[in-house]
A and B are shown apart, each in its own frame.
Chain A
Amino acid sequence: MTPRRRPEGRLVRSYVVTDGRAHPTRNTLDLVTLLIAATDLPLTGLNPEKRRVMELCRPGALSLAEVAGHLQLPVSVTKVLVADLMDSGHIVTRAPIPAARPSDARILQEVLDGLRARL
């Protein structure tokens, strides 16, 4: 693996992004929470990072971890931003999509039989 490049320090530091706050207004968010942007609310009065979150989420749902990755912000900082956006009604969240349904037991049995017969 290639050595990770040292990141160029961010010009705008995290405390300016969150206005010095570290605690999100709600603790219901985690890495896989899906964020869906409300399309009818104006973006005026949002700081550039929140605006960017809205731009990212408008085309379709994104998980919080992906939003943090796109913004190049720590997840904890992104949570503060997203919680604010939820308070103002710009973002609604959805529980993550459940894992795929386990395969049919019959198929598994058949595979097992096939493997047993072969070995």
Chain B
Amino acid sequence: MTDQIPQAVTWALASALFVTAVLLLRQQGITRRQRRKNAGLADEVRAREEELRHLVLVRLPALADHPGQDLPGVGPLDTRLAGTEFGKGLDEVLTRFSGAVAHAQARADQSAKAALKASMRSIQALANEQQVSISEMQDRHDDPDVLRDLLEVDHTNAQFGRRAQAIAVLCGSWPGRQRSTSPLLEVVRGATSRIRDYRRIRINGQVDIAVESRAVEPVVLAVAELLDNAARHSQPNTTVEVTVQSVHNGACVVIDDAGVGMDGQAVDRATRLLAGRGEVDVTRLADPPQFGFAVIGVLARRYGFSVSVDTRSPYGGVRAVAFLPTALLTQLEPAAPEPAIDLTPVPDTTEPSPRPAVTEGTAEGTTDGGLPKRRRRTPRRTAAPEPEPAGTAEVSGRTPEENARIMGAFARGTRFGRAAGRILDEDEYVNADAAEADASTDTAPSAPHENEGTPHA
């Protein structure tokens, strides 16, 4: 029996050891698996942290800079996360964020535009008012020194007005001035009036085309922006050549400068802006703001003309072409030419008329103020004067002496008639008062006597 006890203990120990070993082994496996799992989880947590950091540092700013655009390189870092709840959450954050950004931007843009528009409108009104005053001053003063100063003020004011107008248009306002239908050449010269270097612009070409009244101001503004760009980006000693020509479907204004030209990127940007598609973001124009092309784009889209700047000019700079379709144009009515008058002296065949024969123009229309317009008085030098009616010929043929005689006779006649009347009256008085009648009859008959005595003048 005593032998059996140690044996049992041994067996027990052995089995305990075995069990322990088995448990240890199992535990080891479990631990290894657990470690591996932990490492995986840690990796995943790190990846998520990385992803989150990427979202905050890269993706959101990219989105904020370019709202509504998918930019390459700013997607999730780890594509394994794309399908998970976490990835979906991140996308949701992005969507919300971009929505909020777009909303805030739209609101900022809208309020900026509204504020700019309102202030530009009043500035525009002031510029126009000032222009009217300057014009009136130019009319009033006839002194070259005063005129020189007024021209300078006028020039500055015109540029100032154009700036205000351009910003107002960019903010969705109308160009603001109603003009009458004007010849295309005048429109281009009007545009020239509004830029700084107007003396460097050379306009070539003769077209008898006019721009419809509603399109005059927009075209002036657009061409002015093109001319300003051309003059600004070329040497001050070069000229800017403008060619006006009529083409099959309308008319073209071609502006060539001898400036630095534009690189491909600038041309792309310009083309995009000139197409006028998409809203112009007034808060995102460069500093200093470059809104020339944006303004042209807005106007071109609204009024249906087109502008391109993607050709090189033969002078090495940019060639800008503004194309105006037939819908904006109308044919210029040729002004009726006044009949030319033969200024050669006429042989004196007819008897000299004592009075200078002038054609009295009939009143033709009235001025703005309602007064009849004076017409040119032209000396009649045609060879054969048209025969005048007998009565008027007699009248016009009088000499001053004859006139005086006729007037004298008329005066005598009326005086005589009055004197006779007075005598009659006084005869009645005679019946009433003899004494007074005597005195009157003494003086009254003297008048006819005097008349008789008046010599023929």
Contact = CB atoms under 8 A, between A and B. Distances in A.
Given A60-B376, A107-B404, A110-B408, A12 B189 contact: yes
23 contacts: A1-B369, A7-B132, A8-B180, A9-B135, A11-B182, A12-B193, A15-B198, A16-B193, A22-B145, A55-B338, A59-B378, A60-B341, A66-B376, A74-B135, A74-B138, A76-B138, A76-B146, A77-B147, A106-B404, A113-B454, A114-B408, A114-B411, A118-B415
Interface residues of B, number: 56
B190 A11 contact: yes
B158 A6 contact: no
Contacts of A110: 404, 408, 457
Nearest to A4: B369
Given A9-B132, A11-B190, A76 B144 contact: yes
A55 B139 CA distance: 23
B444 to A, nearest CB: 14
A118 B155 CA distance: 66
Given A59-B378, A74-B139, 16 more contacts: A7-B135, A9-B128, A12-B186, A12-B192, A14-B147, A15-B193, A15-B198, A16-B193, A22-B148, A23-B144, A39-B343, A59-B376, A75-B142, A77-B147, A117-B415, A117-B447
Interface of B: 128, 131-132, 135, 138-139, 141-148, 150-152, 154-155, 158, 177, 179-180, 182, 185-187, 189-190, 192-193, 198-199, 216, 220, 337-341, 343, 368-370, 376, 378-379, 400, 404, 408, 411, 415, 447, 450, 454, 457
Interface of A: 1-2, 4-16, 18-20, 22-24, 39, 48, 55, 58-60, 62, 66, 74-77, 79, 103-104, 106-107, 110, 113-114, 117-118
Nearest to A13: B193
Contacts of B142: 74-76, 79
Contacts of B370: 1-2
Given A14-B154, A60-B378, A74 B147 contact: yes
A4 B368 contact: yes
B216 to A, nearest CB: 7
A27 to B, nearest CB: 8
Contacts of A20: 151, 198-199
Given A11-B182, A14-B138, A22 B144 contact: yes
Contact of A106 (B148, B179, B216, B457): B457
Nearest to B158: A13
Contacts of B146: 76
A6 B132 contact: yes
Contacts of B376: 59-60, 62, 66
Contacts of A1: 369-370
A84 to B, nearest CB: 14
A15 B155 contact: yes
A30 B236 CA distance: 37
A65 B290 CA distance: 45
B198 A48 contact: no
Contacts of B179: 8, 11
A3 to B, nearest CB: 9
Contact of A16 (B182, B192, B338, B408): B192
B186 A48 contact: yes
B135 A10 contact: yes
Contacts of A14: 138, 147, 151, 154
A79 B148 CA distance: 13
B248 to A, nearest CB: 26
A18 B151 CA distance: 10
Contacts of B154: 13-15
Given A2-B370, A22-B144, A59-B340, A77 B400 contact: no
B131 A9 contact: yes
Nearest to B455: A110
Contacts of A60: 341, 376, 378-379
Contacts of B177: 9
Contacts of B131: 9
Contacts of A79: 142
Contacts of A59: 338-341, 376, 378
Nearest to A10: B135
A72 to B, nearest CB: 10
A117 B448 CA distance: 11
A31 B339 CA distance: 25
B17 to A, nearest CB: 112
